[in-house]
Structure 1
């Protein structure tokens, strides 16, 4: 079962991603001393650097590149509302879209969780025959998700890096953002299609 996955990042990170040719995990990005516009909770990112992974390639959650099984994620709502670590809003956030099969073809160290990976009671699963146990239809399409907040935050995680070539397209909020992204993609070996999807935003 192939499932669409989405990684959000700030447009200011795109040039570095293109130069590196991949998305790095937080742990590897810190090791390489790469500049990054953080859009996540700093205290959660720090905790993920220590939270152990018991399946796949082991290590810690911070050594994995995270994806959600939906655009318009719970974290994007937090970004939209603004918080102490990032008050820049959602307008310049990109959705980098791929699918589970494409990533796993180039990275054998993958697993998924049934809820937010940082929670103590999240189940870590590297048996992908079980991915149907997630209610992907509800996770990806439910716009009013307060009743399924935990399930909405289920994650797909790939060890250390995700090759840029497996990103299929980039979702943005406005035509202006699409133009900016297309300019940054000029000259890149792999240029995913940029699509304007305001319904992926709050």
Structure 2
């Protein structure tokens, strides 16, 4: 069974993603000068731009597109509560769902971490036979994660870009946002299924 992964982004970024035909890494997006509605911590994004990667294509974490192994991530909780760099809440945040096998069809340089990739002691792993070392059922998919938040934030990372056609499903909180997404997808050649999943939110 393919291991599903989830990337969160604001709906305001969808038009740009569709026009480029891919999700860009933060480093590549900055290089291209693209406007982006940031929902994450700016200081963590800055750290990730210089934190080295020793597997896959090397470089830095900021050169990779990040995915969690579950929806309703720890970062989404932070977004829901509001933080210094984004106060817009979670309602217009999209879950872009794919799976590791599909992403690797068009990207040879991927790896995963056992905890949040920005932490000093995160292990970077490009041997995907080791995915079974992650506790998907008791930790990563657990709804109540306060005692193991670092482990729940294990990441899958793909170098530089992820092709739009790799995204299979878009999860949203409300039917209103689903309708907006479907309108934006009308002119796209690849139209992922849009599903309303309030249980993926806080």
- Residue 179 of structure 2 is matched in structure 1 by 179
Q: Is the 8 A contact 2:140 2:151 kept in 1?
A: no
Gaps of 5+ in 2: none
CA shift, 1:137, in A, is 1.7
Q: Alignment partner of 1:106: what SS?
A: coil
Q: Is the deviation greater in 160-169 or in 141-150?
A: 141-150
Q: Alignment partner of 1:19: what SS?
A: helix
- Residue 195 of structure 2 is matched in structure 1 by 195
CA shift, 1:140, in A, is 4.2
| Aligned alpha-carbon RMSD (Å) | 0.8
- Residue 26 of structure 1 is matched in structure 2 by 26
CA distance in 2, matches of 1:137, 1:189: 35
- Residue 68 of structure 2 is matched in structure 1 by 68
Q: Is the 8 A contact 1:2 1:100 kept in 2?
A: yes
Q: Is the 8 A contact 1:69 1:139 kept in 2?
A: no
CA shift, 1:139, in A, is 3.8
CA distance in 2, matches of 1:23, 1:138: 30
Q: Is the 8 A contact 2:25 2:63 kept in 1?
A: yes
**Is it true that 1:37 corresponds to 2:37 in the alignment?**
yes
Q: Alignment partner of 1:111: what SS?
A: strand
Q: Is the 8 A contact 1:76 1:90 kept in 2?
A: yes
CA distance in 2, matches of 1:159, 1:24: 9
CA shift, 1:57, in A, is 0.4
- Residue 77 of structure 1 is matched in structure 2 by 77
Gaps of 5+ in 1: none
Q: Alignment partner of 2:105: what SS?
A: helix
TM-score normalised by length of structure 1: 0.99
CA distance in 1, matches of 2:140, 2:173: 17
Q: Alignment partner of 1:101: what SS?
A: helix
Alignment length (residue pairs): 202
CA distance in 1, matches of 2:140, 2:134: 11
- Residue 56 of structure 1 is matched in structure 2 by 56
Q: Alignment partner of 1:43: what SS?
A: helix
CA distance in 2, matches of 1:182, 1:138: 34
